[in-house]
Amino acid sequence: MQRFKKEGDSILKTAVLQYNILDDLKQLTKFGLSVSVVFSSIAGYLLAADQIDWKILVLLAVGGYCMVGASNAFNQIIERGPDALMKRTMNRPIPAGRISVNVAMVIAVALTLLGVIILYGINERTALFGSVSIFLYTSAYTPLKPITPLSVFVGAIPGAIPFMLGWVAATGQFGIEPGMLFMIQFFWQFPHFWAIGWLQFDEYKKAGFNLMPTGEKNKKATRLIIMYTIFMLVVSVIPVFRITGSLYLLPLSAVLIFGLGLVMLWYGVKLHREQTNVMARKLMLASVLYITAIQIIFVIDKFFH
């Protein structure tokens, strides 16, 4: 009986250890964020594909996750010091000591190589844009974060690639259509990340980061949030005018997208007036809803053309 108990305890400990390792890997690659990025890529693919090739779709999802996961792992290696100072990040695997820097580096490099190879299996341009994304995120955006708020502008470039990456994966071409998808996600990131920067201002300041465009939580910053939200809103509905090649929207879809954008704009204006964390949080949540919903609307709209 004692032997069975020991065996049971050993199995339980092994299962717990395996769960903890898996959980640490999910944290290292920022599983939720990576999945949302893959969702954007899949939406872009579905927009462009005349006929769905499930093999390419799987390669795009797996390769895309590897590339984003690698970017996040490199980011946590570089920022392990600041991460240890912030409540939101101090329990991440590296600052908490559950994963060493060397092991994290091996994981990041392996994911990078695997991601490039998988995306190259789709086509060369997909691999190229995926590589540009990870390079800019790791070598430009991350090092610039403690130096200047302009890092958000640099980070918006790799952050805007996933939506267009799906189109390139489906067609092998870069033109006005994927360029438009890039612009939508590019302008969206500013109100989104500045809302996060507002919410985490004190924590970021403690770690030596400042993501607010003016360096402070003030009305100059919220004016910029409003301005970039308007840019995003305009760019998102341009396809309704049928001047963006084979990417276009039906009027009803454009109205829905415009309405969702007005919700974001409303919270941006409220943040400007009230200057509170409550409004910043509402703007951040509205931005997440916006980017997810419009990608779904774009894809559904395509099947009614």
CATH number at residue 161: 1.10.357.140
| pLDDT of residue 268 exceeding 60 | yes
Domain stops at, among 172, 194, 217 = 172
| pLDDT single digits (tens) 14-56 | 544 455 888 999 999 999 999 999 999 999 999 999 899 999 9
Same structural domain, 179 and 264: yes
Quick check: 94 and 83 in contact, CB under 8 A?
Answer: yes
| pLDDT of residue 155 exceeding 70 | yes
Predicted model pTM: 0.90
Give me the domain span that covers residue 28.
1-172
Give the model's confidence band at 303: pLDDT under 50 very low, under 70 low, under 90 confident, else very high: confident
Same structural domain, 145 and 2: yes
Give the model's confidence band at 160: pLDDT under 50 very low, under 70 low, under 90 confident, else very high: very high
Domain stops at, among 153, 172, 191 = 172
Same structural domain, 245 and 288: yes
Same structural domain, 88 and 198: no
Same structural domain, 168 and 180: no
Same structural domain, 159 and 206: no
Domain stops at, among 172, 198, 214 = 172
Q: How many structural domains comprise the chain?
A: 2
| pLDDT of residue 12 exceeding 50 | no
Give the model's confidence band at 11: pLDDT under 50 very low, under 70 low, under 90 confident, else very high: low
Same structural domain, 27 and 136: yes
| pLDDT single digits (tens) 107-132 | 999 999 999 999 999 999 999 999 99
Same structural domain, 233 and 290: yes
Same structural domain, 157 and 142: yes
Same structural domain, 47 and 115: yes
Same structural domain, 196 and 222: yes
Same structural domain, 267 and 126: no
